């Protein structure tokens, strides 16, 4: 009666368990030459592999384990179609571009609104002029029946004119057709962010030439304190002097705000109060605040705002209610394909424009610290 393969396998396993390692080797390890290819497959004994696993002795199926290693090695060394190799079928898997998850560019923080700068928006005519009293009458003490000396007031005119800021980018219409809204919206958003920082930088340091307005730093009549060759001790005194300069000119000091470059803030954060501060000697000259609890950083009780829209080495201390940022309408973003040059190249031009100016009602309410640097 013929014995099935299953029964033979079970009998072999039972013999291995009962006879022990040596007897199982004698019964199951039927010597056969190991060959490659088809002959190697014919000489492979699953029963010997199972017996070696059961007895934890690989020598029972030495040839079978060697053949297994050879097969694995051949498999991993063989050429195959992979996702990582473009020419080996990788091109069949298209990339997944997440247009709505564009990683934004890191930009300078905007500080005008945070500082509370006065705004004049939507102006129509130019120039915009405002009278400002520049001198007062003089009072005198006089004796009985004596005549008082006459004196006059003086008035001058503040004048603001539009200064145009602009930015532009050309886009291939082929790109627009392939990405219906994404390309143009990306360009519009970037131009708007660029313009906001362009006009804010001019608010502080505009040169008054090449179309720029005069920024706070260059307005005539402001206070200035130089930090040239200053030590940590003299820096402390000069920072106090900046507050003093504004106060002795009768400007409002209850609403002042500092604006500076992050580099300058870190220099200040490392400075400690000198011996002249008495019991406060060794304490930091500024309060670093608490970002988690949204407590502002401050110096002499006035909040500090940092931005790379101002140049390192120049500190600004001013009353934001006493300076004005004027605009002749909101920023205008436009797109056009008109004109022979654009039409022949099948291009669209996206532009951004805004007209602005800067003025200080009282320049003495502004003080700049110049040539500020680490000791």
Of 218, 182, 191, nearest to 102 by C-alpha is: 182
pLDDT digits (tens, 9 = 90+) for 97-127: 776 777 888 999 999 999 999 999 999 999 9
- For the record, the structure tokens of 256 come out as 């002042």
List all residues 6 or more positions away from 84 whose beta carbon is below 8 Å from its beta carbon. 90
pLDDT of residue 296: 78
How many residues does this entry show for the chain? 375
- Give the residue carrying structure tokens 């022979």: 340
For the residues of 69-114, what is the DSSP string, one character each? HHHHHHHHHS----SS-TTTTGGGS-----GGGPPPPP-PPP-HHH
pTM, two decimals, is 0.73
Task: Report the alpha-carbon distance of residue 185 to residue 313 in Å, rounded.
Answer: 37
Cis peptide bond prior to 305, omega within 30° of 0: no
Strands of 315-318's sheet in order across:
223-226, 366-370, 315-318, 257-260, 302-306, 298-299, 286-287
Average pLDDT, the chain: 83
Which among 274, 242, 272 is positioned nearest to 260, based on CA atoms? Answer: 242
Query: In a 3-state reduction of DSSP, which class is residue 157?
Result: strand
pLDDT tens digits for 251-297? 999 999 999 999 999 999 888 766 555 544 555 667 766 555 566 78
Residue 218 CB neighbours (<10 A):
17
Backbone dihedral region for residue 37 (phi beyond 0: left; psi -120 to 50: alpha; all else: beta): left
The mean pLDDT of 21-44, rounded to a whole number, is: 49
Q: Which pLDDT score, from 0 to 100, does residue 365 have? A: 97
Query: Of 55, 2, 3, 4, nearest to 28 (Cα)?
Result: 55
Q: How many CA atoms lie within 13 A of 46 on its CB side?
A: 5
Domain 112-128+158-370 has CATH 3.30.2320.10: yes
Q: Which of 143-157, 260-274, 324-338 has the lowest mean pLDDT?
A: 260-274
Is residue 175 within 8 Å of residue 89, measured between CB atoms? no
Q: Where are the domains of the chain?
A: 18-27+36-93, 112-128+158-370
In this predicted model, what pLDDT tens digit does every residue of 171-221 receive, in sequence order? 999 998 888 678 888 999 999 999 999 999 999 999 999 999 999 999 999
Q: What is the pLDDT of residue 31?
A: 40
Alpha-carbon distance of 71 to 77, in angstroms, equals 10
């Amino acid at each position: 009666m013929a014995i099935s393969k299953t029964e033979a396998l079970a009998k072999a396993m039972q013999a291995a368990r009962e006879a022990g390692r040596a007897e199982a080797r004698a019964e199951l390890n039927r010597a056969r030459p190991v060959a490659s290819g088809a002959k190697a497959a014919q000489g492979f004994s699953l029963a010997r592999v199972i017996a070696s696993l059961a007895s934890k002795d690989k020598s029972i199926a030495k040839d079978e384990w060697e053949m297994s290693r050879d097969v694995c090695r051949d498999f991993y060394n063989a050429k195959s179609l992979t996702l990582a190799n473009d020419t080996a079928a990788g091109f069949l898997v298209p990339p997944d571009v997440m247009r709505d998850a564009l990683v934004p560019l890191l930009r300078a923080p905007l500080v005008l609104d945070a500082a509370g700068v006065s705004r004049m928006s939507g102006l129509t005519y130019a120039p915009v002029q405002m009278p400002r009293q520049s001198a007062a009458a003089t009072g005198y003490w006089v004796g009985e029946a004596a005549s008082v000396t006459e004196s006059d007031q003086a008035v001058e005119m503040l004048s603001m004119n539009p200064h145009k800021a602009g930015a532009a980018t050309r886009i291939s219409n082929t790109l627009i057709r392939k990405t219906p809204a994404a390309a143009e919206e990306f360009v519009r958003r970037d131009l708007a962010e660029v313009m906001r920082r362009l006009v804010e930088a001019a608010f502080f340091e505009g040169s008054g030439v090449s179309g720029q307005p005069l920024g706070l730093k260059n307005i005539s009549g402001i206070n200035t304190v130089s930090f040239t060759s200053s030590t940590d001790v003299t820096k402390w005194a000069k920072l106090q002097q900046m507050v003093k300069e504004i106060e002795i000119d009768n400007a409002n000091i209850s609403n002042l705000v500092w604006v500076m470059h992050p580099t300058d803030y870190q220099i200040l954060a490392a400075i400690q109060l000198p011996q002249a501060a008495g019991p406060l000697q060794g304490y930091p000259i500024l309060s670093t605040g608490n970002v988690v609890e949204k407590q502002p950083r401050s110096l002499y009780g006035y909040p500090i705002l940092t931005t790379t829209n101002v140049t390192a080495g120049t500190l600004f201390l001013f009353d934001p209610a006493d300076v004005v940022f004027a605009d002749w309408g909101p920023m205008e973003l436009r797109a056009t394909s008109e004109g022979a040059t654009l039409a022949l190249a099948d291009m669209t031009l996206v532009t951004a424009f805004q007209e602005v100016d800067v003025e200080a009602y009282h320049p003495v309410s502004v003080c700049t610290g110049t040539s500020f640097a680490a000791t």
